Amino acid sequence: MEALREEAARQAIERPAEVAIGDQPVRYEKKAVDAILELSERYPYFLQAYGLHAWNTAPEGDLIRGRDVKRAAAPAREELDRDFFETRFARATRAGRRYLAAMAELGEGPYASGDVAKRGRWRTVMSAGPVRQTLIDKGLVYSPDHGQVDFTVPHFADFMRRRHPLSSLMP
């Protein structure tokens, strides 16, 4: 799934809050919605996680503020790491995990397939090809252009660098 358009992402955050509690609508200040859109990169699952944690972090009342989103960012990221990224990571084979970590170690994508193969210590791009294809088939990465690869969801590179660095996955 791709990122939502900005207006759709704003509505995905604001509309449920307005109707969730019958005659007691909850509102987000603009700064709070802007922060959620930035943190989530408008990716639907991430919008939900950051919105939920901002709601739960806000003190009782009818307004969720930017400071509530700031306080919610770490627990939302923890939830995403545990419930979203880790389950995706678990779908990869040992070699696939090394490939993902090699991508992440290169920074932000898209990545040249040759650079990933070299960083992951495959002999050639061709020898890393089957691993790359398996990751594509599993929906973990995609090829935005010939000779390139990138993660299918935002923040996966950051997750890999924090939780599964390449050094921990090398044979």
Does 98 lie in the same domain as 84?
Answer: no
- Domain of residue 77: give its range: 6-88
Does 128 lie in the same domain as 109?
Answer: yes
Does 105 lie in the same domain as 68?
Answer: no
Task: State the helix-helix crossing angle for 94-105 and 156-163, rounded to 10 degrees.
Answer: 110
Q: What is the pLDDT of residue 22?
A: 66
Does 103 lie in the same domain as 83?
Answer: no
- Per-residue pLDDT tens listing for the chain (171 residues): 689 999 999 999 998 887 766 667 788 999 999 999 999 999 999 999 999 999 888 887 788 999 999 999 999 999 999 999 999 999 999 999 999 999 999 999 999 999 999 999 999 999 999 999 999 999 999 999 999 999 999 999 999 999 999 999 988
Does 101 lie in the same domain as 30?
Answer: no
Does 131 lie in the same domain as 84?
Answer: no
Residue 49 within any structural domain of the chain: yes
Q: How far is the C-alpha of 40 from the C-alpha of 8, rounded, in Å? A: 13
Which segments of the chain does DSSP mark as H helices, in order?
A: 6-19, 30-40, 44-57, 66-80, 86-90, 94-105, 113-119, 125-137, 156-163
Residue 1 within any structural domain of the chain: no
The domain boundary, picked from 88, 111, 146, lies at 88
The domain boundary, picked from 88, 114, 138, lies at 88
Q: What is the pLDDT of residue 144?
A: 95
Residue 133 within any structural domain of the chain: yes
